[in-house]
Every structure is written in C-alpha cells, then in structure tokens.
Structure 1
C-alpha cells in the first residue's frame, strides 16, 4: 500500500509491533480468565486497524472503534483487501453503542490516556462495559508515570514498506501541566519514497496517570474488577509487586 495518507504513514511507522504476538497473548488471557467463549472482539481506539484486522484473520467477529474518519476508512480498506469480516465504527469511545455486546474488548497503544479528563475515562469504562457480555474481559495497555525517568523518553526508529521508509522520532515530554495533569506526546515522521522526502508531525495531549490512579478510575467506574497485571505481552510476564514500569497491561473483568 503506497504511503499517500497519514494513516498509511502511521501504520508503517508502528508495524514493528507484532499483532500476532499481541493477539496470542489476548487469546491466552481469554483462556485463563473468563469462562465465556470468545467469538466477538471490539477494539477501542483501533486506529489503522492493526490489531482489529488480526482478530478478523483468526475468525473473530471484529469491531473497531475510532474517532478519526480517515483512519477508520483506512482500516475498512485493509479488511476489504483481505476479504475479512470486520466492522469499523467512527465514534467517540466514551459514547458508542455496538449492534450487540461482544465477548472481549481491548484498548492498546496506550490510547486510553488520549482522554485527557478522568470523568471521560470513567465514561469510557461504562461505555466499554455496555459493549461487553457479562463475564467479558477488557484488556487495556496503559502508559503510567510512576517512574518519571521512564516517562520522559525519546526513541528513534525506521520501518520500511515497499520502496518507502518512515523514520520516526517519538518523544514523551517530561513536563506535566499542573492544571489538567496532562503531557505532550510528539511523533515526527520523515517519509522517504524513492526521490521524494516529506515530513509530518503529530502532537497529542495525554493524561498523566500513576498505577494507583488508573486502578482508582477502574474502581470508580463500578463496572470492572482488575484481575491481573502484566508488563509485557507474554503469559508469564506478570507485574512484580511494587514494580512500576512505564507500561502495564491490565486484564479487567466486567462485573
């Protein structure tokens, strides 16, 4: 797919994330932590459909929810290109209704903290609960700031697709605004395709949360019970007691 749109650029930049490994882990969680059979999955903040498409490849009825129409259309096109059954809804993840409840939900790439308000996060948890059957799991990948050195980071990498290369400079700025308790996440993309070079910069505000604050928001929603926490997408990567890495994978059970 030619890199002619921002969704394609973003999709290429983050293709180093293994959708197969992540979905393997989610299937393991479904086997271990819920008694209901999982036939349908919804991904909130699905973006370019990186994981939604992988769910559909494995035979699940896959739903993706994102607020950006361009990335929704890109995700739909990826599904059509592979003749996959998936449903992409362009909607706000704090207030979206699925045609029917799903068996499992996910929220990856630390997308929950794009909701730069605690009340909106609580509203999202309640929306997610309505989208799930009783006993369904919600797997959330969340970035945390307990270790400030891990929070203030800069990474550079290059990914290639066809004749094009995307070099990404990713920065999580260390300054946390005192009023809204948010920080700035910045991605700068350099796209080199044959003889053409272009640049795109993406900036987002994200809510700065500690581990305890995240757990508190889950509890305040009144919809989920935290079952287990991991620090990687590996079945044995349980979060050690007292450990506070920059990223945690939380497995929540709908009550």
Structure 2
C-alpha cells in the first residue's frame, strides 16, 4: 500500500507543477497571440491572480515581460519565487487574495487559465475579483480567463479523467472525478488523487475541491456586473487564436477575453 500524504494538493507544489505544467507551451503561445490580437498597445507588464507555482509567470519573465502574481497558498508562492530566483528574475509573487488585491502599477494583461477562478465560492467574491482585475488593468488591457462551464443542453462529457507526468525519476499519475454537482447551490465537488512514484517510494494524495458552477447565462450575467470589462472574444481549450467560438448552452470549456474599457 502507498504511504498517505496529508493536506491539500496545493500543499505539494512540486507534484502539482509536474501534473499541470506539461501544457505550458500551448497556453504561453496562445496568451501571446491574445496580447497581440486583443490588447491595445504593447503588452509588457503581466499579472496572474492565483498564480500557483508560476509555471507561466517564470516563462513570461524569461521572455522579457515584467511579471507578478498572487496566491493564497504560501507553499505555492515559495515555490514560485524560488523558480523565479533560479532564473535571475525578481521574486514578484506574493501571498494574496484574488478577490482583494491592488496593483501599484497597472498591468497590460492578466490571465487565469485553469479554473482557479471557480474557487471563489460566492457571487460577491467573483464580482470583487473582476473589480480588482478592472482596477488593475490599464485601458485597453485584457484579462484572459479560462474555466469550465456547466452545460444546460447536450450530452454530458465524461466526469472522470486521468493523466500521467514524469520529470527525471519522479512520476505522478493524476486522476480527477466529479463527486457531486448541486446546480441549485451552484457547487461542484471534485475528487483528485496524485499517485507519486520514485525509485524508492510510492505515495498517494487524496483531495477534494469545491468549485462554484457557472452556466453560459450565469457567466454572462456576472461579466455584465463589472461594466469596465467587456467580453470581446471567446475561445475553447484548443487555444486556436484563428478559431474563436460562440458560447451557448452546450459549451463547457471556454476562454473569455475581457477587455478594460
């Protein structure tokens, strides 16, 4: 039997980064294409709310951008700043709340690509977050926000997925599955496991995550509550800048481009 790891998956940034970091290049390229297509003027300052381990921040920093981010998890922030330091970049990530932050210098663009937004459990928190984003962006700046919507039509997609990642002698097999979906309370409970393998040990981490749910209509209503931000384009997780998508009741994976007016 594997040894059990205690705590949240976010308390193990080394494993989290391995599991979620493999697709960074597709996101990086897509974000740069969004900056060029949708932002006004040259994009040079970036901010990532809920930046986690900084898998994208570090790479944008190496590409010459001025980067910063925040996250509630201190272990993730320590991991992020350590990787920035290793690449001779400023340790610009800090512990902070994505629905309660203020930037000293306005960002040209912000991004949040893998559902972290749905950790905000109430409408008030979500509105506060978008308000902070609007206040922190320069005029013509954009916020690239990716999340899973809850469809209200069409056949459901699979409620379980698994994938593996490896770096050197460390391997992690990850599995995610839906435990409960409460449409009335707008809450989805998701289970996630990490099976961690090294040459000398096998360990397992089991965790549950509560996400707020959004239908296409609910997301549109939310964005309308922050008039300073306008949805100017939408894409899916194929990250094809030449193929924007229309959001309808069957849409699940969506990336909103919100522009500061």
> TM-score, normalising length from structure 1?
0.92
Q: Confirm whether residue 66 of structure 1 aligns to residue 71 of structure 2.
A: yes
Aligned with 2:213 (options 201, 208, 212): 208
When the two chains are superposed, the root-mean-square deviation of aligned CA atoms in Å is 1.7
In the other structure, the counterpart of 1:91 is: 96
Are the equivalent residues in 2 in contact too, given 1:151–1:172 (CA < 8 A)? no
Q: Is the 8 A contact 1:15 1:159 kept in 2?
A: no
User: How many residues align structurally?
Assistant: 249
* Residue from 190, 194, 210 that aligns with 1:189: 194
Q: What is the deviation of 1:150?
A: 4.1
Superposed CA deviations along residues 172-218 of structure 1, whole A, max 9, x for unmatched, are 3352263x310112210010111201111221110110112111101
Give the one of 2, 26, 42 matched to 1:21: 26
Distance 2:198 2:55 in 1: 22
Q: Say yes or no: does 1:138 pair with 2:149.
A: no
Q: Does the 8 Å CA contact 2:180/2:190 hold for their aligned counterparts? A: no
User: Post-superposition shift, 1:161?
Assistant: 1.2
Tell me if structure 1 keeps the 8 A contact 2:131–2:226.
yes
Q: Is it true that 1:81 corresponds to 2:98 in the alignment? A: no
Contact 2:163 2:175 in 1 (8 A): yes
Per-residue Cα deviation, 1:86-127 (whole angstroms, up to 9, x for no partner): 510210011111221111011110111110111110000001
> 2:131 and 2:72 mapped to 1: Cα distance?
18
Indicate conservation of the 8 Å contact 1:114/1:207, yes or no. yes
Say yes or no: does 1:253 pair with 2:259. Answer: yes
Question: After the TM superposition, which residues 1-255 of structure 1 pair with which residues of structure 2 at under 5 Å, given as runs?
Answer: 6-17=12-23, 19-85=24-90, 87-146=92-151, 149-150=155-156, 153-176=159-182, 178=184, 180-231=185-236, 232-240=238-246, 242=248, 244-255=250-261
The question of whether the paired residues in 1 share the 8 Å contact of 2:150 and 2:252 is answered with: yes
1:34 and 1:248 mapped to 2: Cα distance? Answer: 19
- Relative contact order (alpha carbons < 8 A, sep ≥ 6): 1 or 2 greater? 2
- Give the alignment's TM-score, normalised by structure 2: 0.90
For structure 2, the residue ranges without an aligned partner over 5 or more in a row are 1-10
- 243 and 182 in structure 1: CA distance in 2 versus 1, 3 angstrom threshold: closer
